[in-house]
Amino acid sequence: MSEGTTIFVKSEGRVMKWLKYTYFIIVFAPAFVLSQDNSAPPIYPAPGNTAESQSRENVEAQRDSQTPVFRVNVYARSARAVNYRNRGGSTTLDMKGTELEPQITGRAKVDGKAGRLAIDVDLDHLERPNTKFGGQYLTYVLWAITPEGRAVNLGEVLPSGNGKDKLAVTTDLQAFGLIVTAEPYFAVTHPSDVIVAQNVVLPETKGFEEPIDAKFDVLEGKEYTIDVPVEQLPSTQAQPNVPLDLLEARNAVAIAKAAGAEQYSNSSIMKAEDMLQRAEDYYQRKQGRTPIGTAARGATQMAEDARVLTLRKKEQEREEAARRAAAEAQAKAQADAEAAKRDAEEAQNQANEDARRRAEAETARAQAEQQQATLRAQQEQSMAQAEAAREAAEDSQRKMQEAQNQLDEAERQREEAQNQTQQAEQAKNEAIRQKEEMRARLLAQLNQVLQTRDTARGLIVSMPDVLFDFNKYTLKPDARERLAKVSGIVLAYPGLKLDIEGHTDSIGSEEYNQKLSEERAGSVRGYLVSSGVQPDKVSAVGLGKSNPVADNSTTAGRKLNRRVEMIVSGDVIGTQIDTPRISLEPSAQNR
């Protein structure tokens, strides 16, 4: 075990920990698997499972609702897994407890089956999370951590009370490490920082070890109780015989509502409350664990969706408030400049009036002195009057200069504020223009190779069926030549993302068309990657016959439906151009 750096960052109004874990990731890639699909949902054990029901009964019977929140500090650690590239079969790894539950032992069996991985986990000596770490923790969750640092919820692990617990799931992931965390309910979308176990490679493990550094974000232990204290959670006030599924649903709904879901995601939270009420009704009428668990788990999932959507909308509100504050500050600066200009003009007018009054007073004084000193010589009177006039003129000139200086400063501030506003608007317009020009240029370049159209999803490059061998996924020479051109174009625009979608007509079985579409999409992706496109910038998926663009009852329609589409997108080319300026038809030599 090695210590690492824990970094605290602000996200959606909460404090989150970014922890760096070094994992040796499992890569299980049989020859017939064409691409990695990271979007497959985790498979949870059914609520009616007998072993799970017994586990829940044991947990419910010994729940301690008064345990205080346990502050947990988790350090970076190293775990190892096995690379099974291009081979099938299975492998076994150890599961070892962390410093939070060092008594945990167990094994994980990873078995490749029909392009998916089956994971069987056996854990010994799991303690009940609510008595160990705090009343908000009701269950454990098994996570897969990908090389990109994405955490995938594989399923719920419940302590049975007899010290031996099991979980069997499948996943489409091919590269990952395994950890187990304590959680408030099974449907969480991010792992907590209460990591109790991780995988360890055995000497007899087949294959070879492949170290991969992965960062993934975890939620601090108090994340779910920021808006609602632990002692106010429904689970801390429930009777000991309440099913755990129902407790998790009650907590999930309470946490989502405390976060503001009624205001920001009212439809979702109302659905969650309806499903929770259904589960409560089943419980009151003693309908059995299966209907109670089904309704309760649905309520938990819907409540978590509402909570996540609420946090996202709150963050959008904060960003909008920041934009409004910036606009108000700019308006205030302009108003202050105009007020300073008015003050300078008023100061100049007042200085002129003061000079006039002083001149009148001096004239009156001179006249009085002249009347009183009639015997003085005419020369002395002239000299005195001239000196007085000179002093008055100098004083007036000084006041006027000060007023002019204030006026000039006010004008400078106004011009500076106006220039800053113009520069910001010009920069914004220039960025939009550059993105539009880049998108139009990219559309024109792609149209020289393959038929391309501009859509809200991005630039869609269409590969017709004639570029593949009949009923196969191998690329013809002409197809490889065009894809080489496409990869060269894409590499000239850093930041682009390519989503490859394979499509077929309706001839043949569902399974055949699905497999053919996946294989063709995978062939295109593989060729692009071999041509220099970064693997993490291009994905592939087969859609079979589910998305036709023409009538499958005609030969011409089926020909149009047999295609592979590349969706080119990215912030560097902005959004769809309102009026496309490039023809959607490819050049004649590329048809």
Query: Are 562 and 545 a contacting pair, CB within 8 Å?
Result: no
Closest CA relative to residue 445, chosen from 477, 476, 491, 480: 491
Paired residues of 198 in beta bridges? 96, 179
| Lookup: tokens for 81 | 């897994």
Q: What are the percentages of helix, strand and coil residues in the chain, rounded to 5?
A: 45, 25, 30
Q: Which of 355-369, 406-420, 430-444, 568-582 has the lowest mean pLDDT?
A: 568-582
* Rounded Cα gap, residues 536 and 150, in angstroms: 13
pLDDT digits (tens, 9 = 90+) for 454-481: 999 999 999 898 788 888 899 999 999 9
Q: How confident is the model at residue 490 (pLDDT cuts 50, 70, 90)?
A: very high
- The H or E element that residue 67 is part of is none
Query: Are 159 and 196 a contacting pair, CB within 8 Å?
Result: no
Task: Mention every residue, 6+ apart, whose C-beta is less than 8 A from residue 376.
Answer: none
- The H or E element that residue 503 is part of is strand 497-503
Mean pLDDT of 576-587: 39
Tally the C-alpha atoms within 13 A of residue 314's C-alpha that lie toward its C-beta. Answer: 17
Paired residues of 11 in beta bridges? 14
Q: What is the pLDDT of residue 73?
A: 36
| Lookup: tokens for 332 | 């205030």
Mean pLDDT of 376-382: 81
Mean pLDDT of 69-88: 44
Q: Kindly tell me the sign of the dihedral angle through the C-alpha atoms of 354, 360, 362, 368.
A: negative
Q: What is the pLDDT of residue 434?
A: 85
Q: What is the pLDDT of residue 402?
A: 87
Please state the separation of Cα 403 from the chain's center in Å.
56
* Rounded Cα gap, residues 507 and 204, in angstroms: 48
Taking every pair of C-alpha atoms in the chain, what is the biggest distance, in angstroms? 132
Please state the separation of Cα 472 from the chain's center in Å.
38
| Lookup: tokens for 102 | 């060092």
Q: What percent of the chain has pLDDT over 70?
A: 79
* Rounded Cα gap, residues 143 and 514, in angstroms: 29
pLDDT digits (tens, 9 = 90+) for 309-348: 998 998 898 999 999 999 999 999 999 999 999 999 999 9
- The per-residue b/e assignment along 449-480, b for 16 or more CB within 10 angstroms, e otherwise, is bbbbbbeeebbbbbbebebbeeeebebeeebb
pLDDT digits (tens, 9 = 90+) for 145-183: 887 778 899 999 988 778 889 999 998 888 888 999 999
SS3 44: coil
Residue type at 461? V
Mean pLDDT of 347-351: 92
- The per-residue b/e assignment along 311-340, b for 16 or more CB within 10 angstroms, e otherwise, is bebbeeeeeeeeeeeeeeeeeebbeebeeb
If you search the block for the tokens 């000060």, which residue do you land on?
402
| Lookup: tokens for 125 | 């000596």
Q: How confident is the model at residue 195 (pLDDT cuts 50, 70, 90)?
A: very high
Per-residue pLDDT at 223 exceeds 70:
no
Query: Are 515 and 523 a contacting pair, CB within 8 Å?
Result: no
SS3 510: helix
Mean pLDDT of 278-301: 91
Closest CA relative to residue 254, chosen from 181, 184, 163, 336: 184
Query: Are 478 and 467 a contacting pair, CB within 8 Å?
Result: yes
| Lookup: tokens for 416 | 């500076």
Tally the C-alpha atoms within 13 A of residue 371's C-alpha that lie toward its C-beta. Answer: 5
Tell me the C-alpha to C-alpha distance, in Å, between residue 415 and each of 330, 350, 479. 13, 25, 59
* Rounded Cα gap, residues 293 and 296, in angstroms: 5
Q: Kindly tell me the sign of the dihedral angle through the C-alpha atoms of 263, 265, 270, 276.
A: negative
Per-residue pLDDT at 218 exceeds 90:
no
Q: What is the pLDDT of residue 68?
A: 30
- The per-residue b/e assignment along 40-68, b for 16 or more CB within 10 angstroms, e otherwise, is eebebbebebeebbebbbbbbeebebebe
Task: Write the burial class of residue 409 (CB in 10 Å: 0-12 exposed, 13-18 middle, 19+ buried).
Answer: middle
Q: What is the pLDDT of residue 16?
A: 42
| Lookup: tokens for 262 | 């009624």
| Lookup: tokens for 208 | 């070879």
How many CB atoms within 10 Å of residue 183? 26
Query: Are 135 and 233 a contacting pair, CB within 8 Å?
Result: yes
Q: Which of 29-33, 114-118, 167-171, 412-416 has the lowest mean pLDDT?
A: 29-33
How many CB atoms within 10 Å of residue 291? 17
Paired residues of 175 in beta bridges? 27
If you search the block for the tokens 């000039």, which residue do you land on?
408
Tell me the C-alpha to C-alpha distance, in Å, between residue 352 and each of 325, 342, 349, 356, 393. 41, 16, 5, 6, 11
Mean pLDDT of 557-561: 92
The top-scoring range by mean pLDDT among 28-42, 82-96, 119-133, 365-379 is 119-133
Please state the separation of Cα 279 from the chain's center in Å.
32
